[in-house]
Structure 1
Amino acid sequence: MKPCNQCGKCCINYSNGGLSATADEIEYWELFRPKIARYVSNGSIWMDPSSGAQLEICPWLRRTEGTEKSKEIYSCDIYHDRPNDCKAYPADLSQMINDECEMLEADDIDNPKHGNARLKLIMSDSWSSLPYE
């Protein structure tokens, strides 16, 4: 499994209503990150502050031109305060396959047990910050 190349597929695919935030996350944003809280409406995230409509793309996703090696690079303006849904992605190998994640290598698909073990190692920092359910 390759490291994330910041292709942005996950952020783009799940932006349009595919993400949620917990009540605790929303409360935190309201108290400490009001700029983020502006994009929350009735418990739904990434809503247009003016119209209340669901935004088609995450307002915190930034695209920069890449190099010859990488066409575009995406970054998150609220990376450290992003929702748990974002921190948890990818949840498992099957989700990565379904989403055509660019981190995947042929060996990950051919040997799913090994692929999931690699994913667990790569995601250990993000997953460890998630609350227990």
Structure 2
Amino acid sequence: MRECNQCGKCCIAYSDGGLSASALEIEDWEQFRPDIAQYVANGEIWMDPVSGERLKRCPWLEAEPASVDGADLKYSCGIYQERPEDCRHYPTSIDEMVRDGCEMIELHDLDAPKAAQRELDRLMAESRPPLS
């Protein structure tokens, strides 16, 4: 499995309605991050603060050129430390990564999906802060 190259496919795939936030996350945003909370309406995230319509893309997904010619883009999250749990726990399975066109997947991952899943589980466990 390759390292994440910040292709943004996962964020783009789920940013237009495939994500949710817990009541606690929303409450924290309302109290400490009103800049994030303004994009929440009736418990739904990534809503336009003016029209109330669902945004086509996460307002926190930032793109910058990944190559000199600007043809390729590299994506990052503008609220990485405060992103919703749905985002924190992605990806959960090799099947999900394949479905979403994740560029971390390599051919040998497809040939040995159980080993790839173990590797993914290890990577995800290492990327999360320890429980207190």
Fold conserved (TM > 0.5)? yes
Shift of 1:120: 1.1
Query: Which residue of structure 2 aligns with residue 42 of structure 1?
Result: 42
Q: Determine what percentage of the aligned residue pairs are the same residue.
A: 53
Name the residue aligned to 1:105.
Answer: 106
Give the equivalent residue in structure 2 for 1:73. Answer: 74
Segments of 4+ in structure 1 off by > 4 A? 126-130
- One-letter amino acid matched to 1:62: E
**Residue 11 (structure 1) aligns with:** 11
How well do the aligned residues superpose, as a CA RMSD in angstroms?
1.6
| 1:56 to 2:26 alignment | no
User: What is the distance in 2 between the residues matched to 1:50 and 1:15?
Assistant: 18
- Unaligned runs of at least 5 residues, structure 1: none
State the shift of 1:125 in Å. 3.7
Letter matched to residue 31 of structure 1? Q
- Distance in 2 (alpha carbons) for counterparts of 1:4 and 1:84: 18
Check whether the contact 1:9–1:101 (CA below 8 A) recurs between aligned residues: yes
8 Å Cα contact 1:12-1:57 kept in structure 2: yes
C-alpha distance in structure 2 between counterparts of 1:57 and 1:125, whole Å: 28
DSSP-derived class of the 2:59 partner: coil
Partner residue, 1:118: 119
- Following TM superposition, by how much is the alpha carbon of 1:82 offset from its aligned partner in structure 2, in angstroms? 0.1
Matches of 2:112 and 2:83, distance apart in 1 = 31
Distance 1:92 1:129 in 2: 21
Asked whether the 8 Å contact 1:3–1:122 carries over to 2, the reply is no
Give the secondary structure class of the aligned counterpart of 2:122: helix
Task: Tell me the TM-score normalized by structure 2.
Answer: 0.92
Deviations 1:1-40 (A, max 9, x none): 0010000000000011110000010001011111000000
Report the Cα offset of residue 100 of structure 1. 1.2
CA–CA separation in structure 1 for the residues paired with 2:130 and 2:87: 12
The gaps in structure 2 that reach 5 residues or longer are none
